[in-house]
Amino acid sequence: MCGLLTFVSAHGIAGVHRDHIADALENLHHRGPDDTGVETFGDSPGGDVVCGFKRLAFIDVAHSHQPLRYLDRYLLTFNGEIYNYIELREQLRRECGAKFETDGDGEVILAAYHHWGLETALRRLRGMFAFVIWDKVERRAVGARDPFGIKPLHYLLTADGLYLSSEKKALMPFAASANAGNIGIDHANLSHYLTLQYVPEPTTMQLGISRVECGQAFTYRPGEPVQLSRYYRADFRPAPVADEQALYKKIEDTLRESVRLHMRSEVPLGCLLSSGIDSTAVVALAREFNPNVLTFTVGYDVPGYSEIDVAADSAQHLGVQLIPTKIGPQDMMEALPRIVWHLDDPVADPALVPLYFVNRTAAQHVTAVLSGEGADEFFGGYTIYREPLSLHSISSMPDGIKRGLKSVANVMPEGVKGKSFIDRGTVPLEERYYGNARIFSEAEKQVLMRHYDPSVAYTDVTAPLYAECAHLDDVTRMQYIDLYTWLRGDILVKADRMSMAHSLEVRVPFLDPVVFELAATIPTELKVTLRGNHTKFALRQAMRNIVPPAIVNRRKWGFPTPTRVWLKGDMYEWAANILARSGAGALIDLGYVRKLLDAHRKGEADNSRKVWTVLVFCVWHAIFVERSIDPRPKPAESALLTKPVVQRATW
C-alpha cells in the first residue's frame, strides 16, 4: 500500500523544495490514489523536511492520514502494513502509558519508536514496511525496511539533502538536477542484470540512486552521510526433529495464524491462486476466515502453459469463486512498456506479464490480495535445491580425486552423458550456484557487452552472502543465497510493482518473521529429498489435510509464460523491430541478439530467456535513457498540492 517521497534538507530550507516534491510525488499516484498529503515540518525557519504521501487506505480509513504527526515531535511517512498493530498498541498502552489519536498502524510505529527506540521497535513489528520518521528534537531522520524486503525504499543523497522514495522514478528529477541532467548507467549492474535477470541490491541501474536493503535501518543527520545498519539477519538453524507430526501441526498452526493476521483490513481482500501448493494453501486457510473470499488466476490458450484448469479444480474443491484471466501475445507486447515503467529497473522475468494482468483483474474486485511468495525460500521449494543431494557422490570425494575427474570432464565432448554431472559435482557450490536465474554466461557477455569488464562477476554479489552462511549445509546455503538475491531482487519486485501498478496491495503470509523462525529449524531431509523428487516436504505434509489431494505433491509452476512459443511466431517481428530501433546498441551488440532471435525462431536453440532479457533492457533504455517511449499514466490532480494541475518534473 501507499507511496512515500520524503526530502530531508541539509540546510534547513526544505520548504523551497515543496512544489518539486509535490510534482515528483505524482509519479507514485498509482501506489495510493485514495489520498495525497504533502507537508513541511521542522523547527528550522525554512523547514527541515518535506514529506509527500500517496495513500491506499486499508485500516482506519477515515483517519490515519499521512504524513502523520505524533506528539508534535515526529512526522512519519510509512508504506506497508503492521499486522500485529492491535497487540502492540495494547502493549504500549499497558507498559508505557502511550496515547493514541488514531486507530491505525502508522501511529503504532511512532509510539514504538518513541517509547522503545528504533531497534526494539523493529524487532517487535510483524508486517511489511518501509518508513521514514523525522525527529525534530534529535534533528535526524530514521527509518527502516522490513526483514525480507517486501516493500521498497530508495534513496538519493545530494548536496541539498537526502531524498527517500518508494520508487526510483520519483527520485530521478532530483538525481538529474544534481548531475546537470545526466544520470549515468551503472555498467557493473548491467553486467549483473544480464546474468541474474535483475539488478541486485543495494544499488540500482542508475548511478547515485541506491536502496535501503531488506532488514536494514538508517539514520541521517542533515549534512552528514547516511548511516545504515542491519537489524535483521535470517538465521537458518536446521536441527533434528524428534516428532515429525508435531512439527507438521506446528507449521499448519503457524501459517493459519499468519494468514489470519494478514487478513486484517477494512476493505475487501482476495487471493491469487496458481496450480501449486503455496498459493493453494493460502487460499485454503484464508477461506476459513472468509468463506466468500474471491480468488484470481491467469492463463493462456497455449497447451502446456495455462494453470487455469488446475486452479479451477482447486477452487471448486475449496468452495471458493475463481475469476480467471486469459492473455495472448498481443497483450504482452502492448503492456510491456507500462510494466517496465513500473519496475524502475529492468527485471527480465516473463512472469511479470501474467502477474500484471491477474492483478489488474483482481483490482476490479478487491483492494488487496494474499499470495504465496516466500514459501520456496523458507521451506526449500526449488527443484535445484535437490542438486547437492544428487551430486553428493562426487562432491564428497577428496579434492585430489575431484581434480582428476574434472580433468577428464574437460576433454569430454559436449553432450556426452556424465560430463555435466562431473562438471557440477567437482565445482564448489560458491562457484556454481548464484541463484535461480542464469541468463548469459561470462563468455557470452564478452561478445554481448560493448564495455565488458572481466573484473565484474556474480561472485561480487554472492561471495559476502556465502561467507555469512558458511556454517550451513549446501541446501540451506542455497536457500540463504536465494533469500538475499532472488527473493528480494526478482520475486518481491514483481509482487510489489505489478500489484501497485493497479493500486492493489499484495500480502504475503509466508514472509512473516514468526513463520521464518519455525521454517529455519527444519532439517534438510524434511525440505528436499531425492526419493519421490520432493521439495518443501515438511510444508506438503503440513498442508496434506488442508489443500486438495491433487495439489499436495504437484510440482511448482508459478504462472509460467509461453514466451518461448510466441517469440517464434506472433512476437517475432515485434522483437526484431525493438532490436532494430533500440538506442541501447552503444551498450549491447544488438546484432548478436538478433542472431539469437533468429536461431530461436528456427528451432536451433531455446534462446527465449536470453532474447527476452535484452528486449526488456531495450524497452527500459527507451523509457529511462532515450526517453523515446513515455508509458506514464496521466498526472493526477490533487487539491492538496500547491498547483491546481500538477506538472510532472521532466527527466
For residue range 375-403, list pLDDT tens digits in order. Answer: 999 999 999 999 999 888 888 888 888 78
pTM recorded for the entire structure: 0.94
* Residue 452 to residue 164: CA distance in whole angstroms: 32
Could you say which of 2, 51, 214, 618 is catalytic?
2
Residue 497 identity: R
Residue 304 annotated as part of some ligand binding site: no
Mean pLDDT of 250-277: 94
DSSP-derived pairing of the beta strands 154-157 and 209-211: antiparallel
For residue range 24-39, list pLDDT tens digits in order. Answer: 999 999 999 888 999 9
Question: Spelled out in words, what is the top-level CATH class assigned to the domain 244-288+308-319+366-381+484-552?
Answer: alpha beta
CATH 3.40.1550.10 fits 3-230, yes or no: no
For residue range 103-135, list pLDDT tens digits in order. Answer: 999 999 999 999 999 999 999 999 999 999 999
Contact residues for 54 (Cβ-Cβ < 8 A; gap 6+): 2, 3, 4, 25, 28, 29, 31, 32, 33, 35, 36
CB atoms within 10 A of CB 233: 11
Residue 272 annotated as part of some ligand binding site: yes
Mean pLDDT of 188-196: 98
* Residue 450 to residue 443: CA distance in whole angstroms: 13
Query: Active site includes 469?
Result: no
* Residue 432 to residue 356: CA distance in whole angstroms: 32
Residue 298 annotated as part of some ligand binding site: yes
For residue range 297-350, list pLDDT tens digits in order. Answer: 999 999 888 889 999 999 999 999 999 999 999 999 999 999 999 999 999 999
At 369 the three-state DSSP class reads: strand
Give the residue from 83, 79, 81 showing the smallest Cα distance to 32. 79
Residue 105 annotated as part of some ligand binding site: yes
* Residue 141 to residue 548: CA distance in whole angstroms: 49
With 60 as the cut, is the pLDDT of residue 76 above it?
yes
With 50 as the cut, is the pLDDT of residue 263 above it?
yes
Given the C-alpha cell 512515500, which residue does it identify? 4
The H or E element spanning position 616 is helix 608-621
> Do 593 and 579 touch, CB atoms closer than 8 A?
yes
Residue 371 annotated as part of some ligand binding site: yes
> Do 609 and 439 touch, CB atoms closer than 8 A?
yes
For residue range 42-64, list pLDDT tens digits in order. Answer: 999 999 999 999 988 666 566 66
With 80 as the cut, is the pLDDT of residue 492 above it?
yes
Give the residue from 553, 174, 590 showing the smallest Cα distance to 381. 553
Residue 573 identity: E
Extents of the domains making up the chain: 3-230, 244-288+308-319+366-381+484-552, 563-626
* Residue 541 to residue 550: CA distance in whole angstroms: 13
Residue 328 identity: G
Residue 157 identity: L
